[in-house]
Amino acid sequence: MKVLNKKLIRDLWKLRGQVLAVALVIGSGVATLVMSLSTIEALEDTTEAYYQRYRFGEIFAFATRAPLRLTNQIAQINGVQTVQTRISSYANIDIQGFDQPAIAQLMSIPEKGQPLLNQLVLRKGGWVSPGRDDQVILNEPFAEAHQLDIGDTVSVIMNGHKKHFYVVGIALSPEFIYAIGPGALMPDDSLFGVMWMSYEVLAAAYDLQESFNYLSLTLTRNTLPADVLNQVDVLLEPYGGVSAIKREDQISNWFVKNEIEQQKSMATILPAIFITVAVFLTNMVLSRLIATERTEIGLLKAFGYGNFQIAWHYIKMMLVIGIIGVTIGSVIGAYFGRLNTEMYAELFRFPLLIYRPSPYAFIIGGLVSIIAAILGALTAVRSAVKLPPAEAMIPPSPGIYKRTFLSSLGLARLLDQPTRIALRQISRRPLRSFLTSAGIAMATGLIIMTLQWDDSLSHLKRVYFFDSQRQHITVGVVDPLPLRAIYDFEKLPGVLTAEPIYAVNADFSFGSKTHRGGITGMQPDSTLQVIYDDGRKQSIEVPDSGIVIASRLARKLNIKIGDVMGVDVLEGRRPELLIPVVGIFDSYIGLPTYMNLDTLNRALNESPSFKYANLLIDPLYQDELYAAFKNMPKVSTVMLKQSALDSFDEHLVEHLMVFISMFTGLAVVLVFGVTYNSTRVALSERGRELATLRVLGFTKGEISYVLLGEVMFLILLGLPLGCLFGGILVWSMAQSFDTEMYRIPLVIEASTYGYAIVWVVIAAILSAALVRRRVNKLDLIRVLKTRE
Amino acid sequence: MNKVPQSELQPGIQPALAAYNLTKIYHSGEVEVQALRGVNFELYPKELVVLLGASGSGKSTLLNILGGLDLPTSGQILYNQQDLSKASEYELTRFRREHVGFVFQFYNLIPSLTAYENVALVTEISPHPIAPEAALELVKLGDRMHHFPAQLSGGEQQRVAIARAIAKQPDILLCDEPTGALDKQTGILVLEAIENINQQLGTTTAIITHNTVVASMADRVVNISDGQIAGIRNNAVRVMAKELEW
Ligand SMILES: Nc1ncnc2c1ncn2[C@@H]1O[C@H](COP(=O)(O)OP(=O)(O)O)[C@@H](O)[C@H]1O
Ligand SMILES: [Mg+2]
Nearest to B192 by CA among B46, B42, B44, B48: B48
d(CA B224, CA B206): 13
Q: Which one of B105, B121, B147 makes the best mutation probe of the A interface by having the most chain A beta carbons within 10 Å? A: B121
- B9-34 CB burial, b ≥16 within 10 A, e <16: beeeeebbbbbbbbebeeeeeeeeee
d(CA A296, CA A309): 13
Q: Using CA atoms in the order A332, A334, A337, A339, what is the torsion angle rounded to 10 degrees? A: -70
Taking only the tens place, the pLDDT of each residue in A245-299 is 899 889 889 888 887 887 777 767 777 777 777 777 677 666 767 777 777 888 8
For chain B, give every domain's residue range.
Answer: 45-74+86-243
CB distance B109 to B160 below 8 Å = yes
The structural domain count of chain A equals 4
Does A235 reside within a domain?
no
pLDDT of residue A786 exceeding 50, the answer is no
> What predicted TM-score, i.e. pTM, was given to this entire model?
0.71
Residue B33 CA to ligand 1 centre (angstroms): 8
Query: A96 Cβ partners below 8 Å, 6+ apart?
Result: none
Does A241 reside within a domain?
no
HEC string of A110-134 equals CCCCCCCCCCCEEEEECCCCCCCCC
Domain that holds residue A136: 88-202
pLDDT attached to residue A81: 93
pLDDT of residue A402 exceeding 70, the answer is no
CATH of B45-74+86-243, one of 2.40.440.10, 3.50.50.60, 3.30.70.890, 3.40.50.300: 3.40.50.300
Does A283 reside within a domain?
yes
Question: Do A2 and A55 share a domain, yes or no?
Answer: yes
For residue A169, the SS3 value is: strand
Residues 101-120, chain B: which have Cβ within 8 Å of A?
A: 102, 104, 106-113, 117, 120
Q: Which chain B residues contact residue A4 at CB under 8 A?
A: 121, 124
The predicted complex's ipTM stands at 0.76
Taking only the tens place, the pLDDT of each residue in A110-145 is 998 899 999 999 999 999 999 899 999 999 999 998
Q: Is B94 in contact with A304 (Cβ distance < 8 A)?
A: yes
Helix or strand (DSSP H, E) at A479 = strand A473-482
Residue with CA at minimum distance from ligand 1 atom 3: B26
Question: Do A500 and A608 share a domain, yes or no?
Answer: yes
Taking only the tens place, the pLDDT of each residue in A476-523 is 887 889 999 999 899 998 899 999 999 888 889 999 988 888 899 999
d(CA B147, CA B111): 10
Crossing angle of helices A307-348/A3-14, nearest 10°? 50
CATH of the domain at A566: 2.40.70
Crossing angle of helices A700-736/A655-695, nearest 10°? 150
Q: Which atom of ligand 1 is nearest to the CA of B176?
A: 21
**CA distances, A258 to each of A247, A478, B56 (Å):** 13, 29, 74
pLDDT attached to residue B3: 43
Q: What is the DSSP letter of B108?
A: -
Does A189 reside within a domain?
yes
Question: Do A612 and A736 share a domain, yes or no?
Answer: no
CB-CB: which of A3, A400, A787 is closest to B121?
A3
CB distance B189 to B156 below 8 Å = no
Does A365 reside within a domain?
yes
Does A135 reside within a domain?
yes
**CA distances, A620 to each of A203, A494, A623 (Å):** 40, 7, 8
pLDDT of residue B179 exceeding 90, the answer is no
H helix and E strand count, chain B: 6, 10
Q: Which atom of ligand 1 is nearest to the CA of B208?
A: 21
Model confidence band, residue A37 (pLDDT cutoffs 50, 70, 90):
confident
pLDDT of residue A185 exceeding 70, the answer is no
Question: Do A567 and A706 share a domain, yes or no?
Answer: no
Question: Do A646 and A786 share a domain, yes or no?
Answer: yes
Does A139 reside within a domain?
yes
Does A459 reside within a domain?
yes
CB distance B175 to B206 below 8 Å = yes
HEC string of A181-219 equals CCCCCCCCCCCEEEEEEEHHHHHHHCCCCCEEEEEEEEE
Question: Do A443 and A352 share a domain, yes or no?
Answer: no
Per DSSP, helices labelled H in chain B are 59-66, 89-99, 115-123, 132-138, 154-166, 184-196
> For the residues A669-694, what does the mean pLDDT come to?
77
Chain A positions with Cβ closer than 8 Å to B: 2-4, 6-7, 10-11, 14, 295-296, 299-307, 309, 388-391, 393, 395, 400, 782, 785-788
pLDDT of residue A400 exceeding 70, the answer is no
Q: Which of A170, A202, A234 is the last residue of a domain?
A: A202
pLDDT attached to residue B1: 38
Q: What percent of chain B has pLDDT over 90?
A: 48
Question: Do A313 and A439 share a domain, yes or no?
Answer: no
Mean confidence (pLDDT) of chain A = 84
How is A686-718 classified by DSSP, letter by letter?
A: HHHHHHHHHHTT--HHHHHHHHHHHHHHHHHHH
- Give the strand order in the sheet containing B48-53: B100-103, B172-176, B204-209, B48-53, B220-225, B228-234
pLDDT of residue A404 exceeding 60, the answer is no
